[in-house]
Structure 1
């Protein structure tokens, strides 16, 4: 008990001092867990101001403090971030948190600092070079306990080496469903996390998600190849959310339905549409009808998107009541009092629908989640699935193109823009490379700079030092004669692999024999098999049919939800793997409560006249 009390006192000093402070005492995870039975609640109250945990949170925290791997599936807004933030503050060393969006990271960091917890930092592309260096210096001084990182950072050899010099007590993957290609939000950048975990050897790994089916959970664990974790599932039911579906026969009906609903409804809301053009058309229509509304999609200028978001958060007379958006808006939007979310277009998966709808009512008050369903929606998603799915001609073209890029042995270096010039969009590039990697035709390594600036120091004495090996001395001789170099040409001249060059440079810089600068702007790919072998493979061998089958099954499920004659809540809970009582009814959907059914006002009046 005394060890943990000492640790908490030291951590308290660290968290509440923005400047330089000593690191906490090295109490092991196992020792910390052994003492936590009586200390968890005081720590929770001290750092977060809560009197007690929500159901399931304490068990997760205790497992993490015990050094065990966990996978936790908690509903949106349930407080999963606390499950890793609290143990991060109590454990020695650094906790790394991987998150997919800058806005998500920034919100969590800002919230912690508002709690006077300053031992936190984020590293992503939003930082200037000076800000980035300042955060790294804080890390080196031991001032950081929670380090938020974008997944793309783990493609940097230099960055991994930097992390390797620190004790990583906990490695957290937020939105872990992004790892699975069967998840609704697959992100190829998450695939690099397996190798990062292998290299960093964290004491424990914690995976968090709100929307992972049993199949997706299995795929996550298979990819990461970690020891089977403890799996915690809180269930996804949120009784304050009221779900309903309104079936229409044509698109035009949606405009009338939406306007009539909004005339009755107060509070803030989001309307999700499938296409950018639709968001603009719907917003224009609603403006003409007198609603305070604007549209949001990735095609708008960054300053305009920020203005829309700021006005949505503004509850005054200058604020917006409603944003019509693509799914580019929402994740990372931490607004608790959203009263309704309407899906103008059916989503492609039930996971995506439930995650987006779950952004409503995070304050625990009643909120409405409405899906407009038109039979044409299914055909649209089937077409999109077919168009976006990996296929042999596109993958063969991509592989052959990669083979043509400048090489050092089996390694190819190129920029994403080089592929875009050859009719590949960014999504097809990311998915295509990850699919070829999965099939064993290539291996993506860390990003490398195309050009480097180098300044050597202590040159004469370094050549006689025994602490560097002969290969490093040879490299220093060549680097000493030039201050700027083309990485590809330099590697060819020395018959040196680009990844080996970067490792040598990092080692020499760490030993203070040189300094180097360069933007890691090139993909480094190692070709493992040639395109002739790929050309001889069948579609079955490549798994294309499995991919399409699973994607179409996901479409079937969201259509089944839209057309369900029974309890919608039951269907959703069973889809996410919950065991439900035979006579269960959620009481929060339009099948359980007819008062939730959305119909046009004129239809309601007609019904009243008939009665």
Structure 2
């Protein structure tokens, strides 16, 4: 009875039946396939209930064998959403370990994984290179690895993430510690592009000798209507946008490919007294969560965002998606517009406000984010020079970029360096190891800078110069402005960024941070 998926569906989620896709029970078939121990790839449309297809087998496995399911997901906000949604249904066995947690929450999540009270663990692909993760997973029987947004494996996909390529190697390590027992995997994506599917299936066949059973829903959505409006200059475009918002009068997402446009459109709508929120990668993490929640809870009716918003956001009453400029790709457009009409009860509208200049801007942006062979060669030369006197070296993306002579303002610097290192590793030129620890802004234990200074004075560990440097480091951590320099969520106050921003040497920065830990201003 415990292994019966229909009974478990009612028991955990209070649903009477699984979701069908054009009459085909794919959600149920994928769930049952996982319960039989198969490895699989499920291609479900945006809003197609893919989360349930891996959460239900995970909950059944926890109940029957107390095994842990590890879910690898690319966005911290997505993980938090899914854990919160499960808790709202009184399911408390899911935890996440990511950079949004403070030290106490993080320690609690780790404890719950080790003591067996957690049945689902959400992590980001970057965390796979952490020694802590390997240690805690070796304490548990692993039921399955779930890879959400699996199109991030594919170099054909717009969302290619180099850390996804490390997944197989990490799974091998865990299997070795589990006496070489093969662990099944489930991949989920909404992207049905043939090349992407081949990349995913080939990767797991070649690296883990796993054959994936494929469950593919037809991508057609019957409740979406598409319209393209040709616009002139920016004022004309904004007027059209306002007209559509007033005409539709429903929860609306407005997408733009540039953060500056998001800020500008948000500001104009706000001044025009619209109920509006915004979301893009250069905002502080806390601010993003706040804005996302405003939209989800109905406090704001309009969300202006880059494509960073929406992946995994569970809101079924969006009646309108407007593209203020064109998407990066057709598949991204299908995903973004598919965030409208998540409920079958809604007839939703999808608009594109098109201007000829948008294409030029789009190609400029695309070219600036591409990595070329000369850049890969410059990274290789830099790493060779840095390892002349020793076999291994611990470096950040910023340090490699500086050694390669790159301008720190290069668009997507961190991603480009990581992609170059990944390409060199794939070609056998180098081996990337585990990540060094980071210093997180939320690891500060004192309530204010004044409290921190008093603790530093009382400790008698700091001379005047060190005290001044420590104060500058803490001010930076508290203000959390360092993310804008890296332009993404990965650059969480790492030592290299702190050193670079403050003009300190890396050695000095590490020494001061260790002193701050010793006097309990920073958590370990």
Category of TM-score, reference length = shorter chain: 0.7 to 0.9
Where do residues 414-493 of structure 1 align in structure 2 (5 Å cutoff)? Answer: 414-421=395-402, 422-424=406-408, 425-448=413-436
Structure 2 equivalent of residue 52 of structure 1: 17
- 2:42 aligned counterpart, secondary structure: strand
Structure 2 equivalent of residue 513 of structure 1: none
User: For 1:89 and 1:211, how far apart are their aligned partners in 2?
Assistant: 26
Structure 1 equivalent of residue 149 of structure 2: 175
Of the three residues 148, 154, 160, the one matched with 1:186 is 160
User: For 1:220 and 1:428, how far apart are their aligned partners in 2?
Assistant: 22
Structure 2 equivalent of residue 369 of structure 1: 350
Q: What displacement does 1:250 show?
A: 4.7
User: For 1:325 and 1:44, how far apart are their aligned partners in 2?
Assistant: 34
**Does the 8 A contact of 1:403 with 1:412 survive in 2?**
no
After superposing the two structures, state which structure 1 stretch, 176-185 or 431-440, moved more: 431-440
Of the three residues 327, 330, 333, the one matched with 1:350 is 330
Structure 1 segments, 4+ long, off by >6 Å, are 519-522
Structure 2 equivalent of residue 82 of structure 1: 52
Structure 1 or 2, whichever has the larger Rg, is 1
After superposing the two structures, state which structure 1 stretch, 47-56 or 221-230, moved more: 221-230
Structure 2 equivalent of residue 336 of structure 1: 316
Q: What displacement does 1:419 show?
A: 3.3
Seen in structure 2, the aligned counterparts of structure 1 residues 64 and 302 have a Cα distance that, compared at 3 Å, is closer
User: For 2:322 and 2:306, how far apart are their aligned partners in 1?
Assistant: 12
- 2:15 aligned counterpart, secondary structure: coil
User: For 2:289 and 2:121, how far apart are their aligned partners in 1?
Assistant: 25
Structure 2 equivalent of residue 388 of structure 1: 369
User: For 1:140 and 1:338, how far apart are their aligned partners in 2?
Assistant: 40
TM-score norm. by structure 1 comes to 0.64
Where do residues 265-280 of structure 1 align in structure 2 (5 Å cutoff)? Answer: 265-280=248-263
**Does the 8 A contact of 2:41 with 2:215 survive in 1?**
yes
Provide structure 2 residue ranges, at least 5 long, that are not aligned to the other structure.
Answer: 20-24, 176-181, 440-492, 497-524
User: For 2:362 and 2:211, how far apart are their aligned partners in 1?
Assistant: 35
User: For 1:366 and 1:77, how far apart are their aligned partners in 2?
Assistant: 15
Structure 2 equivalent of residue 210 of structure 1: 190
- Which deviations, in whole Å up to 9, do the C-alpha atoms of 1:301-321 show, x marking residues without a partner? 444434433332343xxx322
Structure 1 equivalent of residue 487 of structure 2: none
Provide structure 1 residue ranges, at least 5 long, that are not aligned to the other structure.
Answer: 9-35, 452-518, 523-611
- Which deviations, in whole Å up to 9, do the C-alpha atoms of 1:141-176 show, x marking residues without a partner? 221211111111111234223313321111100000
User: For 1:138 and 1:408, how far apart are their aligned partners in 2?
Assistant: 43
User: For 1:107 and 1:449, how far apart are their aligned partners in 2?
Assistant: 26
Seen in structure 2, the aligned counterparts of structure 1 residues 119 and 214 have a Cα distance that, compared at 3 Å, is same
RMSD: 2.5
How many residue pairs match? The answer is: 418
- 2:80 aligned counterpart, secondary structure: helix
**Does the 8 A contact of 1:405 with 1:414 survive in 2?**
no
- Which deviations, in whole Å up to 9, do the C-alpha atoms of 1:515-554 show, x marking residues without a partner? xxxx9979xxxxxxxxxxxxxxxxxxxxxxxxxxxxxxxx
Structure 2 equivalent of residue 246 of structure 1: 229
Seen in structure 2, the aligned counterparts of structure 1 residues 107 and 310 have a Cα distance that, compared at 3 Å, is closer
Q: What displacement does 1:416 show?
A: 2.8
After superposing the two structures, state which structure 1 stretch, 426-435 or 71-80, moved more: 426-435
